[in-house]
Chains A and B, each alone.
Chain A
Amino acid sequence: MTTPRSIIDKIWDQHVVADLGDGRVLLHIDRHMLHEVTSPQAYAGLAAAGRRLRRPDLTFATADHIVSTENGRTDDTVPGGPEMIRALRANAEATGVALFDLGDVRQGIVHVIAPELGIALPGATLVCGDSHTSTVGALGAMAWGIGTSEVEHVMATQTAILRRPPTMRITFSGTCPAGVSAKDMVLKLIATIGTAGATGYGVEYAGSAIRALSMEERMTVCNMSVELGARFGLIAPDAVTFAYLQGRPFAPAGDLWEQAVEAWRALASDPGARFDAEIELDVSTLTPQVSWGTSPQDCIGVGETVPDPEREADPKRRQAMRRALDYIGLEPGTPIRDLPVDMVFIGSCTNSRIEDLRAAAAVLKGRRVAAGLRALVVPGSGQVRRQAEAEGLDRVFTAAGFEWREPGCSMCAGMNADRVPPGKRCVATSNRNFEGRQGPGARTHLASPATAAAAAVAGRIVDVRSLEGGV
């Protein structure tokens, strides 16, 4: 009898190229995604050492972080930006890498296009020089962010050096109440176990509440795995996964599709598979979550009040909380609901997919953004944008007073022209509320697309479930 194995064990075992001793292995990388910020120095290193790109056919590139999201955009963006876009273009061309360039409908946020184009697949290893690569774990891929030197290593060898991570299973039990989304689930998880709660672990998300999620909602959960400190987070592929992938441009087709699906069905963790840690979270009473501080773990239910650092036992945590409150401009005990906001941003690799836009549009239909508030909606890819336009969502957004923009990381990364001005308060569907994340001095409140849309209408943080006339 063979030992029961987890999905992580199975993917790992499939990919070991060589044992380096000392617990380290060379692991084969099936898919490598490049973007303009973390690839130029890797390409320069490769050229300087006279090395070649080993598998250009498994490497894909797009520009997303620093691109302009203005309609009618060109290479021109922030200072230094055009040079980065052109370097990516020249490097991709010189090495035979598929590039989804500005103007191509396939261009978009790298973690949105990898699943959308069928590049990311169940059971695959996928890396990118970006911490939110964990997003595509939703398909049952082992996907993680790497640094530029590792990008160069993967370019030269199509492998990465890894030590087998300890494994953690996070089980979401119960059923989410209406008006509560995948974003609320993952924010609650981070608030519960902390940003270091899964440091170094390979995480499998499981349980009835995960199984009930659509493919896109699963991506929202896996996206924020890195905010738990996890190396990667994944969800075993199932019928939902296969239905999502079938017919995507780079997904296998015909006989190969049948063969692949058969292999993917065998990936699920065996009954009795051992994990190094287990966590369970019941979502039956979950409410919409909003962050109050400068770490994704600083989250509370929309009906709750800002916590008091003086009640915190851990002195370090107390100090961090004081600092966060000082930066975010809030007093302990303040209800998070009714806090006035200046901006709303719907986008990012966490929440810029078509379902996110549908959820926000459902709230906005027939309503108007509050006077004086600036609201942006930035589709995650050209295809999301096109789909939304086909469904008329763009008109819902613009009629409500939102700016309808071209795809990119936009106001999540703060590296392009889309910024939250110093001291201004923004409800954002992105993944990080760090100091300065959305621009120097920007005050970010993380929330779901529905909650963000509701805040845009009210001009303040509200419980989306309480909107007059319902959603």
Chain B
Amino acid sequence: MPEPINRITGIAAPLPQPNVDTDAIIPKAHLLTIHRSGLGAGLFSEWRFDEDGKERPDFVLNQAPWREAKILLAGENFGCGSSREHAVWSLMDFGIRCVIAPSFASIFHENCQKNGLAAVTLDEAALAHLVTVAQATPSAAMTVDIEACRVTAPDGREFAFTMEAARRQALLEGLDEIGASLRHDAAMAAFEARDRAQRPWIHALPTA
């Protein structure tokens, strides 16, 4: 179950290229596990490490202080491609608590919510500013305030963002979504009873 978060303050790493897909976020070699912990080792592994397993010094998350980043400044359509939730688990295991991007791929966006990774949408101009500041003053902390829906850059500039109320509430409360849904048990039972009459072929399958 996710931890409640209302504010994230930390180093922001710039990775502004568009269409970073989940294969890049966590290459498939790291998916061969039945566990969800320890996946930070695989985060961006083909970009972080060379064929011999040595760090590539030019990759942003291999550079100080960005290797300590809590915030990732990403490009449009971040998290596209495969539905693997491991992408979110690996970002979180690495220490990332928030990704800010102009847009997110939808399955990834959902996966962020389920795990308490803040996915914040800002427009291109705002993001370009944050990237510039992060590159100019890498050690200065950025703050993402979920409560106030505001990002504060190290230079003091603030950017408001919007987030669906339910998504924001889930982050603030560390909500267990399944528990919340199970409270609708009576509605589920009523739906099933009604639907069995209307669409019996859905509920009474032939055994094969």
* Contact B81 A157, beta carbon cutoff 8 Å: no
Contact partner of A84 (CB less than 8 A), chosen from B27, B34, B86, B115, is: B34
Shortest A408–chain B CB gap in Å is 14
A153 touches B166 (CB 8 A): no
Q: Does A199 sit within 8 A of B, measured CB to CB?
A: yes
Query: Interface residue tally of chain B, by bracket?
Result: 35 or more
Instruction: Let me know if B46 and A436 touch, CB within 8 A.
Output: yes
Q: Are B105 and A199 in contact (CB under 8 A)?
A: yes
**Do A147 and B200 form a contact, CB below 8 Å, given A153-B181, A231-B106?**
no
Distance between Cα atoms of A231 and B109 in the complex (Å): 12
Q: Pick the residue among A252, A434, A440 that contacts B81 (CB under 8 A).
A: A434
B83 interfacial by beta-carbon distance below 8 Å: yes
Q: Taking A41-B35, A44-B34, A149-B114 as contacts, is the C-beta distance between A319 and B77 under 8 angstroms? A: no
Q: Mark B71-90, 1 if CB is under 8 A from A, else 0.
A: 00001110011111110100
Residues of B within 8 A of A422 (CB): 51
When distances are taken between beta carbons in the complex, the residues of chain A under 8 Å from B174 are none
A303 vs chain B, min Cβ distance (A): 27
Contact check, A199 vs B85: say whether CB atoms are below 8 A apart. no
Q: How far is the CB of B187 from chain A (nearest CB, A)?
A: 4
Which one, A74-82, A215-223, A283-291, A397-405, is touching chain B? A74-82
Known: A20-B166, A195-B80, A196-B103. A38 touches B85 (CB 8 A): yes
Tell whether A468 is near chain B: CB-to-CB under 8 Å.
Answer: no
- Bitwise, A421-439 to B at CB < 8 A (1) or not (0) is 0100000000010111100
Q: Is the CB of B77 within 8 A of A229?
A: yes
Q: A18-B187, A320-B18 are in contact. Are A41 and B107 (CB under 8 A)?
A: no
Q: Tell me whether B85 and A253 are in contact (CB under 8 A).
A: no
Instruction: Looking at the assembled complex, report how far the CB atom of A327 sits from the nearest CB atom of chain B, in whole angstroms.
Output: 11
> Does B63 belong to the interface (CB within 8 Å)?
no
CB distance from B49 to the nearest CB of A (A): 10
Closest B residue, CB atoms, query A48: B1
Q: Please determine whether B84 and A38 come into contact, CB atoms closer than 8 angstroms.
A: yes
Given A40-B34, A153-B178, A440-B27, is A146 in contact with B187 using a C-beta cutoff of 8 Å? no
Most chain A CB neighbours (cut-off 10 Å) among B46, B178, B181: B178
CB <8 Å contact, B106 and A199: yes
Contact assessment for B84 and A26 in the assembled complex, using a CB-CB cutoff below 8 Å: no
Indicate if the CB atoms of B77 and A413 lie closer than 8 Å. Answer: no
A131 proximal to B (CB < 8 A): yes
CA distance A51 to B1 in the complex (A): 14
Q: Is the CB of B110 within 8 A of A150?
A: yes
What separation, in Å, do the CA atoms of A84 and B164 have in the docked complex?
36
B23 lies within 8 A of A26 (CB): no
Given A26-B181, A415-B32, decide whether A263 and B199 contact each other with a Cβ distance below 8 A: yes
A57 contact set on B, CB distance < 8 A: 203, 205
Query: Could you tell me if A17 and B187 are in contact, using CB atoms closer than 8 angstroms?
Result: yes
Return chain A residues, CB-CB under 8 Å to B208: 117, 249-250
Chain B contacts for A432, CB-based, 8 A: 23, 81-82
* CB-CB nearest in chain B for A162: B110
Q: Contacts A26-B181, A196-B103 hold; do A434 and B21 have CB atoms under 8 A apart?
A: yes
User: Shortest beta-carbon distance, B24 to chain A, in Å?
Assistant: 6
Which listed residue (B19, B46, B192) contacts A295, Cβ 8 A? B19
**Contact count A vs B, C-beta below 8 Å:** 189
| A316 adjacent to chain B (CB < 8 Å) | yes
Does A256 lie at the interface of the complex (its beta carbon under 8 Å from any beta carbon of B)?
yes
Residue pair B107, A146 in contact (C-beta under 8 Å):
yes
* Bound Cα distance from A49 to B168, whole angstroms: 24
Residues of A within 8 A of B34 (CB): 40-41, 44, 83-84, 87
A430 vs chain B, min Cβ distance (A): 12
Shortest distance from the beta carbon of A255 to any chain B beta carbon, whole Å: 10
In this assembly, does A121 line the interface, its C-beta being within 8 Å of a C-beta of chain B? yes
Contact residues in B for A195 (Cβ distance below 8 Å): 19, 77, 80
A259 part of interface (Cβ distance < 8 Å) = yes
Asked, given contacts A80-B32, A316-B18, whether A152 binds B166 with beta carbons under 8 Å apart, the answer is no
The interface centre, meaning the residue of B23, B114, B188, B201 with most chain A CB atoms within 10 A of its CB, is B201
B206 near A250 with CB under 8 A, answer yes
B60 to chain A, nearest CB (A): 15
Chain A residue nearest in CB terms to B32:
A80
Indicate if B202 sits at the interface (CB-CB under 8 A). yes
- Is B3 in the interface zone, CB < 8 Å from A? no
Does A157 contact B182, Cβ atoms closer than 8 Å? Answer: yes
Query: Chain A contacts of B129 at CB under 8 A?
Result: none
Residues in B neighbouring A188, C-beta threshold 8 A: none
Determine if B184 is an interface residue (Cβ-Cβ < 8 Å).
yes
Nearest B residue (CB) for A31:
B202
- Cα A339 to Cα B208 with chains together (Å): 48
Give chain B residues whose Cβ lies under 8 Å from the Cβ of A249. 206, 208
Residues of A within 8 A of B195 (CB): 28
A252 and B201 contact, CB distance less than 8 A = yes
Q: Is the CB of A145 within 8 A of B107?
A: yes
Q: Known contacts A159-B188, A250-B206, A259-B200; is A84 also within 8 Å of B32 by CB?
A: yes
**Contact among A84, A131, A229, A257 for B83, CB-based, below 8 A:** A131
Give the distance to chain A from B121, nearest Cβ to Cβ, in Å. Answer: 12
Residue in chain B with minimal CB distance to A119: B205
Those of A54-92 within 8 Å (CB) of chain B: 54, 57-58, 66, 78-81, 83-84, 87
Residue A213 at the chain B interface, CB threshold 8 Å: no
Interface 1/0 per residue, B165-197 and A, CB below 8 Å? 110000000000111011010011001100100
9 contacts between A and B (CB under 8 A): A28-B191, A58-B205, A78-B32, A123-B199, A131-B82, A147-B107, A150-B114, A153-B181, A316-B18
Of all A-B residue pairs in the complex, the 5 with the closest CB atoms, nearest first, are A80-B32, A149-B114, A249-B208, A252-B201, A40-B34
Interface residues of B (CB under 8 A from A): 17-19, 21, 23-24, 27-29, 31-36, 46, 51, 75-77, 80-86, 88, 103, 105-107, 110-111, 114-115, 164-166, 177-179, 181-182, 184, 187-188, 191-192, 195, 199-206, 208
| Other 6 A-B pairs with CB < 8 A, given A22-B164, A156-B178, A250-B206 | A30-B202, A83-B33, A147-B85, A196-B19, A415-B32, A422-B51
